[in-house]
């Protein structure tokens, strides 16, 4: 596993707030007829946004790009047939990084509005809406990838 230069930990509360902030921004672009979650990262943000925008049609597109922190060639393991060419649909993902996954999704659903919570500079132009930009060398630790654990108080850790 390669190490990123920076790590940014996102809590469940922060993810919920950021997803709601994205939903608020998206209100002006709707109404949407449905939502497409990009799995797996987009599933929880899409559920929150679907609730906030009162969308009942939730579809998913499954694209495998990462194995741990190693990026590979994207593979579509499930398209999003209910979304057609994307007309009237909102695509939601947690993050746009290099834009590799976003390019594949855009090719499948060219007429959809693409939104994500976090965006890195290399992929930012691939999405229509996002909430927070992070540096390219930051690895975001989402709440589903982490668990709370005890940390020794600073005074007991010695000098570092």
Residues catalogued as catalytic: 93-94, 97
**Torsion sign, CA atoms 43, 132, 17, 126:** negative
Give the CA diameter of the chain.
59
CB 90 within 8 A of CB 36: yes
E-assigned strand segments in 108-155: 113-119, 129-133, 138-141
Cα–Cα distance between 155 and 135 in angstroms, integer? 31
- Cα 9 to Cα 127: distance, rounded to the nearest angstrom: 22
How far is Cα of residue 84 from the mean position of the Cα atoms in its chain?
21
């Amino acid at each position: 596993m390669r190490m990123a230069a920076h790590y940014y930990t996102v809590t469940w509360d922060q993810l919920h707030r950021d997803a709601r902030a994205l939903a608020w921004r998206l209100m002006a672009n709707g109404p949407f007829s449905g939502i497409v979650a990009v799995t797996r990262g987009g599933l929880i943000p899409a559920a929150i946004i679907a609730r906030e925008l009162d969308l009942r049609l939730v579809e998913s597109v499954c694209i495998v790009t990462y194995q741990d922190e190693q990026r590979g060639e994207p593979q579509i393991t499930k398209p999003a047939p209910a979304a057609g060419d994307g007309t009237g649909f909102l695509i939601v993902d947690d993050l746009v990084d290099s834009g590799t996954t976003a390019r594949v999704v855009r090719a499948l659903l060219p007429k959809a509005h693409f939104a994500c919570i976090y965006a890195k500079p290399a992929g930012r132009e691939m999405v229509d809406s996002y909430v927070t930009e992070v540096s390219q060398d930051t690895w975001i630790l989402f709440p589903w990838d982490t668990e709370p654990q005890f940390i020794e108080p600073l005074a007991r850790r010695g000098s570092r």
